[in-house]
Structure 1
């Protein structure tokens, strides 16, 4: 389901089962593995494989992965990021929608990092359908991290869906299209601040932590990529500005998200106009929010306050 793969400097270039000297995949390894398996990157699954070991190691480093950490990887592709995560000592649950890639991944790990095979679990599934029943170990874990190179067209839905379904999902480091990264990390008042920005802020805080050039991919995409780091809010958070209760029942979150969708569905209109069928004048007054403002100026706390006021109106 993703873009991935690594390396321009590996010494293992054959597609057989001979021992390899390097633990991470190089560009020649990737092409050899793909050719041997009859795999070609497809636009359908948004596949662009990373061909630089330094890039996948950087992703793992930015994610703060430590030995024995529980990690969910979406779209492992041919396995370069998977190997980098295993190299760091993580226990990896890799969710792959492409059956050919999913079946190949255990063999690649067995060949390049045999001592880590017991720390890899492969799930052949669409990440958007993933539930606690599919990954009970992660669902029961105190916390786990999502580390992934996400397809550009479904990056935002995947992140928001997994945050909604998995309370232990505590930290995220994803590589996405630069424009997507900018939107996810945008702040109120900016032109790129939109529904994804606000909804992600419901769960925690996001920031861009680096850019990735096109040359590290095979095939090279037509856009640059960037890394986004996300940390979930906790009730014990020391930041007094965090007033959103991310443990709130689903109906409350749905009310807030409905206001966000309506406000940004007509972002040029004032809140009074865009939310006229959803929010009463008295609710604006009770929430202390001027109805002549536009949605792009509101924080997640203000959207939450407005939804709560309307529920009591």
Structure 2
């Protein structure tokens, strides 16, 4: 596991004197990062949103702000919505499968089951199927428990309209989200067994661990080699996993709140492999190989609610 560092991108520079605006921003920074990341699925873009939020916050007269947390979330949401609409257009031309940028998360995240579920690869892919405003409303309401009036100010809609959007988004996500949240201990045990099977090339053990309709998504971004389309079915997925080079070293870690594997070649990160488990079987495998999404994987990100 990489060295633990705090998320500092987007925070104002320190000259030894901390003014009230800076102090408040730093206090809420990890929360704002989590909001932006859940809306965008990209740590890089989330950090850019935080920088934009800080620039706007620095010019605010704090005497006019009644609730600094709500105000900062509102600004972050607006900036993230603007960026999300741009990202949506870019992702339409993305080469191959698109996956969220993986986050190396601290062990404490797994203990907050709802938070871990909200930043998991599986959930972020579900959120990707929502329209931008639906995604913002769902994240703010279901994850951060903001009131409809506060959300209305963030997305520039009436509270009544926000309630309707929230209901629609909740139904959409419920129909697509994972059936059951797996306890951390169960997930760690399954990952350990999966790692042994991959390292030994034991195809039968792999077949025993993966669901018949398992799906493997590989994100190379047109830069690294990757399957051009999802690989579906136990036999096909086991065959792909069985071809992992013996020179690859597998390191267990925690990514997006759940156990995952970092694959290294010659000491360099080659792939981050996250798994999704349902009813004791692996139903989803998410392999991020795009090097542009792996530059931060050795730095822990602090996500919070």
| TM-score between the two structures when normalised by the length of structure 2 | 0.28
Q: Which has the higher helix share?
A: 2
* Structure with greater Cα Rg: 1
| TM-score between the two structures when normalised by the length of structure 1 | 0.28
